Amino acid sequence: FFVDFYGKVGNANVDSLLRELKHMTDKLLVLDEKEVHWFPRHISELDLIANRTLDAGTDLEADHPGFRDVEYRQRRARLAEL
C-alpha cells in the first residue's frame, strides 16, 4: 500500500515511523520529496479549473494563443476531422 504524509527523513518522528514500518513489511520504499503546487482535495474544487481547461475542448488550453481565435479553432476542428 501507499502512504503519503508531510514530513522529512531525518525528523525524529518520521525516522521513528519508518523504523516501525520496516518491521511490518518485506520492503519499504521512501520516495524523494515531490512538491505539488495544487491538487484538488474535493470534487467541487475541480470547478475552480474546469473553465480554463474544458472551454476549448480537451486539446486547447485557455492560455494557448489561439484559445479565443474563432477562425483558428475552426481550422483545428477541420484538421481533427481528417
Q: What is the pLDDT of residue 1?
A: 76
CA distance 16 to 33: 18
How confident is the model over 8-60, as pLDDT tens digits?
A: 899 999 999 999 999 999 988 888 877 777 778 888 888 777 665 545 555 66
Residue type, 39: F
The model carries a pTM of 0.41
Q: Residue 51: CB partners within 8 Å, gap ≥ 6?
A: 62
What per-residue confidence (pLDDT) applies to 76? Answer: 79
Amino acid, res. 20: E
